[in-house]
Amino acid sequence: MFHKIARIVKNISFMILSWQGQYLQKRLIKRLGYTKKAVVDGCTVDISQEIKDKCEKVDNDVRAILKSCKNNPNAVIEYFHKNNVPVYCLKKVEKLTKFLKEKEGLITERSGFTALVLNLATGNGIKFKTETMVLLNNEPDIYNLIYCLHKWYARKEGLEGFDKKSQKLLVKCNDKNEDKIIGRLSIPEITALRNAIQRDVQAIDFVSKYSRENTGAKKALEKMQQDGGANI
C-alpha cells in the first residue's frame, strides 16, 4: 500500500512539474517575443534541425537502454554506475537538496561548499569537488530513475541547460518566485533558464509517454487510475 501511494504521489508530482515547466516556458517565449509557431512542444524554441534530431535521438536511445534494463530499477542504477555516475539513495533527501538549493535527481559537477556537503552526505569524505551524480530518496522508483536517465543522456548528447547557472535559475523559479525572477533576467539568463526548463519538460514528457507505452508501467498506471490515482 505504501509503495502504491508513493507512486501515485510521484505521478502527481510529474504532472505538476510538467504544467509548471510549460507555464514558465510560455512566459519566457512571451518575454523573448517568439510566435507560437516557433515553439516545439516538449523540446526547444525556434531550434535548428540538428537540435531537433538530437532530441529525437535522446528519446530513442533512452528507450533502447530501458529495454535492455527490462524496466528494472536496479538494472538502471547499475547502468548509471557503469557510466561512472554514482547513484545515492538517502533518507530525507528533500531537506538536503533544499538546504543546498539543488534539485533532487541528476546533479552535475559541483565545487566549494555545495560539493563539501554533498560529499559528506554521500560518504565521500571531505572534498570540495564532486562529479555528476544521481541523488534520490531512500526508495527510488522506476519513474524517477527514467527521469534522471533521460536528463543525463540529453546532457551526454550535448543538449544545453545543465550548467550550474541554468540549473540554479530553474531551482529559483521552482520556488514559486518565477514572476519576480523572470522580470529581472537578462537575455543570456533567460536563454539559460529556457534551456533548463526545456530539458525538464522533455524528460517529464518522456516519462509520461513511456509509462503509457510500456506494458508493465501501463498496467500499473491503469490500476492507479482505477484506485483514484493521477491521470498524467
Per-position DSSP letters for 48-73, written without gaps between them: -HHHHHHHHHHHHHHHHHHHHHTT-H
> What's the rounded Cα separation, in Å, for the pair 190 and 228?
39
Cβ contacts of 4 within 8 Å, gap of 6 or more:
224, 227
pLDDT above 90 coverage of the chain, percent: 38
The pLDDT of residue 171 is above 90: no
Can you tell me the mean pLDDT for 156-176?
83
- Quote the mean pLDDT of the chain: 77
Each domain of the chain, given as residue ranges in start order, spans 2-226
The pLDDT of residue 22 is above 50: yes
Q: What is the pLDDT of residues 2-21, one digit of tens each?
A: 444 444 444 444 444 555 55
The pLDDT of residue 174 is above 70: no
The pLDDT of residue 134 is above 80: yes
pLDDT confidence of residue 173: 75
Q: C-alpha cell of 110?
A: 559541483
pLDDT above 70 coverage of the chain, percent: 69
Cβ contacts of 195 within 8 Å, gap of 6 or more:
44, 159, 160, 161, 166
Cα distances from 122 to residues 52, 181, 203, in angstroms, run 36, 32, 25
Q: Please give the residue that has the higher pLDDT: either 42 or 178.
A: 178
The three-class DSSP label of residue 47 is: coil
Q: Nearest 5 degrees, angle CA 122-CA 80-CA 97?
A: 40
- Closest-CA residue to 134 (of 120, 147, 148): 148
> What's the rounded Cα separation, in Å, for the pair 97 and 11?
20
> What's the rounded Cα separation, in Å, for the pair 214 and 212?
6
Q: What is the pLDDT of residues 50-88, one digit of tens each?
A: 888 899 999 999 999 999 998 899 999 999 999 999 999
The pLDDT of residue 24 is above 80: no
